Chain A
Amino acid sequence: MGELLMDLGAWLTSGDQWSGVDGIANRLGEHLEYSLIATVIAAAIALPTGLLIGHTGRGAFLAINLSSFGRALPTVGLIVLVFLASGLSMTPVYVSLVALAVPSIVTNTYAGMRAVDPETRDAARGQGMRAHQVLLRVEIPLALPLIMTGLRLALVQVVATATIAAYVSFGGLGRYVFDGLAQRDLVQVLGGAVLVAAVALVLDLALAALQRALFVNRPA
């Protein structure tokens, strides 16, 4: 075990390991690229959905259940399915990552909108705000902490799962895991896994700190 950790340390810190196409820097960049693109696509679908059902209070049952269905789908199964249907492209990767990310964003956005005190919404209308002004000036700002929590959760989940891009022959940190498994190179597998976990953790902490800084004036 000690030896394994020493080897892992050497693997992570060797200059060679960081450079080149198969270097950590490049794989890390790919990994983040996949994750960000998938999260942005998911947000583009999930935010309007969550805001709409939260603002109108209608369609919540359907939307929440549909998106939970996405969460229940096994990601590996989904990626294989889409891969078989669409062939070799990034599509299967993004479809499965987006399906994973949408539920957190929809449910948190919806929860944030519903948590806005009806009295506050009523007061906004009573002061003469139109529906879109109530949404933009009152509901969204008040729901923002929860909306951001949803985005953070989604991003972390996606980062942790983006290793599957390597499963269908693309890059990212998953490369080390799948290549290592194929080559029976345990150090490489472990190195990939540790890097993925570290990236997810750092992102989570950084975004949580950002949230705290942004919403310092909110009541507890």
Chain B
Amino acid sequence: MIEFRAVHKRFANGTTAVHDLTLSMPAGGITVLVGSSGCGKTTTLRMINRMVEPTSGTIHVDGRDICSQDAALLRRSIGYVIQQSGLFPHRTVLDNIATVPLLLGWGRRKARTRAAELLETVGLAHDAGKRYPHQLSGGQQQRVGVARALAADPPVLLMDEPFGAVDPVVRTQLQDELLRLQKELDKTIVFVTHDIAEAIRLGDRIAVFRTGGRLVQCATPAELLARPADPFVADFLGAERGLMLLSLIPLGDLPRRPVPEGGRWELVLGPGRRPKGWRDRSAGDGDGALLPVRPLRDGDSLLSALNESVGSPCGLVVRVDTEGALTGVTSREEVHDRAGTAHASAARAASAPPEPAPRAGDHPPVADPAPASAPGTTGGAP
């Protein structure tokens, strides 16, 4: 548990980076600090391991005032991952990962053994350990950065835009890996990003900052999306905020039906009843090109179902079990209806007592590809 009490940070040049921040970050969860640049989110993060000293106020980590501890020792007890990974270019990957264990005096052999273990944990090949950081790709470097932060098994992990410099595909992979790791390791993670989609994806709680270092709202992703505290937050969440809320709701028991016989479109199955694609029967004989299908599992989100229903040639969403075998199809209309009701109830659940949503959060229904969900996007019950 990390607790900020009335923390203020003013830099020597007179700018206020963090203004009267009181915030607690629960243990064993990912708290995402989000906001545009210059909003004080990175300063907030760096105050936790005393890379920046607060001007006033106190910060406690697991009940201990961080200012009562030696700064170097404090930092060794807190994992720290930064953008561009900040690896040491003159040291091998293995030695980079072993940094903190060596500082803690574990001895070279034990530190190296631990480092080799972590290579595997973060999904890197064993022989990557002998290489130098510049010989790795950006994504691999970030994995090494995460491994280095985890080396001494610290309970708290600070991550400062760790995936900001990698391409979107790799970023998604790294986010997935982080969620998988977090399930396994259950750290208290503080994560800074300016990417709201990343915040929604990773955060158990999201703290939104605005210029001048003011915390505007700290809430679960669903609550934030359903009930932004003010026009600034609503603006920051953007026009797709309603859809983002759907990304948090799984398909679950959305009814599935057998694949219709006949008609223009035939669903082609591969071995193990795995859907391969849609064939256009009207396009004549032979195996004409299959239109791709992206089958959905019950854990996938309503947003992905909406997306699939829009892209499907016949308006049917294909459903599979955990093995990838066909279980049935769901129509576009059913997906849309469910999206609308689920959205409204999620909004209600996140926002008790309900309140009219702020004007700035409203967007014209034409901008929304899912008309059924439009009433829900304004949040709260009508």
Contacts and interface: CB of A to CB of B under 8 A. Distances in A.
Contacts of B148: 127
B57 interface: no
A16 interface: no
B138 to A, nearest CB: 14
- Residue of A126, A130, A133 ringed by the most chain B CB atoms within 10 A: A126
Nearest to A118: B86
A128 interface: yes
A127 B49 CA distance: 10
B77 to A, nearest CB: 8
B80 A141 contact: no
Contact of A130 (B72, B86, B134): B72
Interface in B286-337: none
Interface stretch (B5-13, B87-95, B213-221): B87-95
A219 B91 CA distance: 11
A120 B86 contact: yes
A185 interface: no
Contact of B76 (A119, A128, A217, A218): A128
B75 A218 contact: no
A84 to B, nearest CB: 48
Interface residues of B, number: 23
Interface in A107-148: 117, 119-120, 122-130, 133, 138, 141-142
Contacts, number: 58
Given A119-B82, A217-B132, A126 B49 contact: yes
A142 B91 CA distance: 10
Interface residues of A, number: 19
A119 B80 CA distance: 13
Contacts of A130: 72
Nearest to B151: A127
- Give the one of B76, B88, B90 with max A CB within 10 A: B90
Contact of B90 (A127, A128, A133, A142): A142
B86 A128 contact: no
B84 interface: yes
Contacts of A217: 90, 132
A217 B96 CA distance: 15
B140 interface: no
Nearest to A140: B90
21 contacts: A119-B82, A119-B86, A120-B86, A120-B87, A120-B88, A120-B89, A123-B82, A123-B87, A123-B88, A125-B51, A125-B75, A126-B82, A126-B86, A127-B75, A127-B80, A128-B72, A128-B73, A128-B76, A129-B72, A218-B89, A219-B132
Interface of A: 117, 119-120, 122-130, 133, 138, 141-142, 217-219
